[in-house]
Structure 1
Amino acid sequence: MMLEYLPLAVVAIVGVPLALAALTRRGDRALTRLALALFDGWVADRGRRQRERRELLYEVHLEDTYRMYASKTLLYAGLVALAGSVVGVYLAAGVLALFKISPETVRATLPQQLWFLADLLVFPDLSLGELFTLLAFSSATLGVAGGAITYWIRWENLSYRANARARQIDESIARTVAFFYALSRSGMAFPEIMRSLARNRSVYGETAEEVAVAVKSMDYAGLDMLSAIERLADRTPSQKFREFTDNLASVLQSGQSIPAYLDDQYERYREDAEAEQEAFLELLATLAEAYVSVFVVAPLLFITILVIMGLMAIGRTLPLLRVIAYFAVPLANVGFIIYLDSITESLRATREAREIDAAPGLLAGVRRTDDPDADRTGTERPAVEGSAVRSDGGERPAADSSAGLAFERLAAFERVRWLRDLLSNPARTLRENPVYVLYATVPLGVLSVVLRAWPHLVAGTLTVETLDDFVVQAALVVVGSFAVVQELHRRRIDAIEAAVPDFLDRLASVNEAGMSIVESLERVADTELGALDAEVERLRTDMAWGVEARTALYRLEDRIDAPVITRVTTLLGNAMHASSDLARVLRIAADEAQDTRRLKRKRRQEMVTYVVIIYLAFVVFLVIIGSLNSILIPSLPTGAAAPDTGGAISGGPLAGISEVDVEAYTLLFFHTALVQALFSGLVAGQMGETSVKNGAKHAAVMLAIAYAVFLLLP
Structure 2
Amino acid sequence: MTPATVLPLVFALALLVPIAVARYHDGADRALTHAAIGLFGDYVDSFRSEHPDRQAALRAAHVPRTYREYGSKTLLYAGLFAVVGSVLGIYVIWLGLTVLSISPEIMRESLPSALAFLANLGDVPSLSALELAVLLCSSGLTLGVATGGGTYWLRWWYPSHVASDRARRIEATLPGTVAFVYALSRSGMEFPRIVRIVADNSDTYGTAAAEFDVAVRNVDTFGMDVVTAVQTMGRRTASPQFREFSENLVSVLQSGHSLSTFLERQYHDYREEAESQQESMLDLLATLAEAYVTVLVAGPLFLITILVVIGFSIGDTLEPLQALVYVVLPLGNLAFVVYLSTVTDAIDPGRTDVENPKTDVERRMSSVLETAGETRTDGGVGSARASTTATRNIDRVQLYRRFRTIRTRIGTPVETILERPTWLLGLTIPLAAGAVLWRLSATAGGGLELAAVDDTIALAALFVLATFALVYEIHRYRVDAIEAAVPDLLERLASVNEAGMPIVTAIDHVRGSDLGPLDAELDRLWADMRWGADLETALRRFESRVRTRTTARVVTLLSAAMNASGNLSTVLRIGARQASADRRLQRERRQGMLEYMVVVYVSFLVFIFIVAVLSAYLLPNMPTESVGTEMGGMGDTGGFDGVGEVDAATYTLLFYHATLVQGFTSGFIAGQLSTGDVKAGAKHAAVMVAVAVLLFAVVI
Measured in 1, the distance between the counterparts of 2:92 and 2:447 equals 46
Matched, 1:149 2:150: yes
Q: Counterpart amino acid of 2:332?
A: A
Matched, 1:272 2:258: no
Measured in 2, the distance between the counterparts of 1:624 and 1:317 equals 18
Matched, 1:419 2:420: no
Q: Give the Å deviation of 1:617.
A: 1.6
Q: 1:698 aligns with which of 684, 689, 700?
A: 684
> 1:202–1:121: structure 2 CA closer, same or farther, 3 Å change rule?
farther
Matched, 1:686 2:672: yes
Deviates more, 1:152-161 or 1:85-94: 85-94
Q: Give the Å deviation of 1:693.
A: 2.1
Matched, 1:595 2:596: no
> 1:63–1:630: structure 2 CA closer, same or farther, 3 Å change rule?
same
Matched, 1:482 2:468: yes
Matched, 1:330 2:318: no
The within-5 A match list for 1:246-325 is 246-308=247-309, 310-311=311-312, 314=315, 317-318=318-319, 320-325=320-325
8 Å contact kept, 1:184–1:193: yes
SS in 2 for 1:658: coil
Measured in 1, the distance between the counterparts of 2:17 and 2:142 equals 24
Match of 1:221 in 2: 222
Match of 2:428 in 1: 441
Deviates more, 1:268-277 or 1:478-487: 478-487
Matched, 1:663 2:649: yes
SS in 1 for 2:211: helix
Q: Give the Å deviation of 1:391.
A: 6.7
Q: Deviations over 1:382-430 (max 9, x none)?
A: 669995654765986958989986984684265134534654x655444
Q: TM-score when scaled to structure 2?
A: 0.86
Q: Give the Å deviation of 1:199.
A: 1.3
Q: Deviations over 1:148-192 (max 9, x none)?
A: 333222222222222222222122111111111111111222122
Match of 1:184 in 2: 185
> 1:7–1:653: structure 2 CA closer, same or farther, 3 Å change rule?
farther
> 1:128–1:530: structure 2 CA closer, same or farther, 3 Å change rule?
closer
The within-5 A match list for 1:527-676 is 527-638=513-624, 643=629, 652=638, 654-676=640-662
Q: Tell me the number of residue pairs that the alignment of Structure 1 and Structure 2 aligns.
A: 680
Match of 1:107 in 2: none
> 1:665–1:585: structure 2 CA closer, same or farther, 3 Å change rule?
same
Q: Counterpart amino acid of 2:407?
A: L
Q: Counterpart amino acid of 2:547?
A: D
Match of 2:110 in 1: 122
Q: Counterpart amino acid of 1:155?
A: W
> 1:408–1:704: structure 2 CA closer, same or farther, 3 Å change rule?
same
Q: Give the Å deviation of 1:121.
A: 8.7
Measured in 1, the distance between the counterparts of 2:39 and 2:685 equals 54
Q: Give the Å deviation of 1:652.
A: 4.5
Q: Deviations over 1:13-47 (max 9, x none)?
A: 32333333444444433332232232223324456
Match of 2:174 in 1: 173
Q: Give the Å deviation of 1:629.
A: 2.8
Measured in 2, the distance between the counterparts of 1:297 and 1:121 equals 44
The within-5 A match list for 1:187-202 is 187-202=188-203
Measured in 2, the distance between the counterparts of 1:77 and 1:476 equals 47
Q: Give the Å deviation of 1:676.
A: 1.8
8 Å contact kept, 2:629–2:636: no
8 Å contact kept, 2:315–2:643: no
Q: Give the Å deviation of 1:474.
A: 3.0
Measured in 1, the distance between the counterparts of 2:154 and 2:388 equals 62
Matched, 1:473 2:459: yes
Deviates more, 1:432-441 or 1:165-174: 432-441
Q: Deviations over 1:670-711 (max 9, x none)?
A: 222212211211111122123222211111100100101111
The within-5 A match list for 1:37-48 is 37-46=38-47
Measured in 1, the distance between the counterparts of 2:265 and 2:488 equals 24
Matched, 1:431 2:432: no
Q: Counterpart amino acid of 2:233?
A: L
Q: Give the Å deviation of 1:573.
A: 2.0
SS in 1 for 2:188: coil
8 Å contact kept, 2:167–2:239: yes
Match of 1:113 in 2: none
Percent sequence identity is 42
> 1:516–1:121: structure 2 CA closer, same or farther, 3 Å change rule?
farther
Measured in 2, the distance between the counterparts of 1:23 and 1:345 equals 31
Measured in 2, the distance between the counterparts of 1:172 and 1:516 equals 31
Measured in 2, the distance between the counterparts of 1:648 and 1:212 equals 88
Q: Give the Å deviation of 1:296.
A: 2.5
Q: Give the Å deviation of 1:381.
A: 4.1
Match of 1:491 in 2: 477
SS in 1 for 2:222: coil
Q: Deviations over 1:567-611 (max 9, x none)?
A: 222222222222222111100110010000000000000110111
**Uncovered stretches (5+) of structure 1, i.e. residues with no partner:** 104-119, 369-377
Match of 1:20 in 2: 21
8 Å contact kept, 2:627–2:639: no
**Uncovered stretches (5+) of structure 2, i.e. residues with no partner:** 120-130
Q: Give the Å deviation of 1:523.
A: 0.5
> 1:550–1:632: structure 2 CA closer, same or farther, 3 Å change rule?
same
Measured in 2, the distance between the counterparts of 1:409 and 1:44 equals 54
8 Å contact kept, 2:511–2:523: yes
Q: Counterpart amino acid of 1:230?
A: Q
Match of 2:124 in 1: none
8 Å contact kept, 1:382–1:399: no
SS in 1 for 2:110: coil
Measured in 2, the distance between the counterparts of 1:641 and 1:379 equals 94
Q: Counterpart amino acid of 1:249?
A: V
Measured in 1, the distance between the counterparts of 2:118 and 2:180 equals 71
Match of 1:524 in 2: 510
8 Å contact kept, 1:200–1:352: no
8 Å contact kept, 2:81–2:144: yes
8 Å contact kept, 2:22–2:32: yes
Q: Counterpart amino acid of 1:285?
A: A
Matched, 1:209 2:200: no
8 Å contact kept, 2:185–2:260: yes
Larger relative helix fraction: 2
Q: Counterpart amino acid of 2:79?
A: G
Q: Give the Å deviation of 1:431.
A: 3.4
SS in 1 for 2:624: coil
Measured in 1, the distance between the counterparts of 2:240 and 2:651 equals 55
Q: Counterpart amino acid of 1:240?
A: Q
Q: Counterpart amino acid of 1:435?
A: T
Measured in 1, the distance between the counterparts of 2:413 and 2:503 equals 34
Measured in 2, the distance between the counterparts of 1:226 and 1:680 equals 51
Match of 2:238 in 1: 237
Deviates more, 1:4-13 or 1:236-245: 4-13
Q: Give the Å deviation of 1:435.
A: 3.1
Match of 1:339 in 2: 339
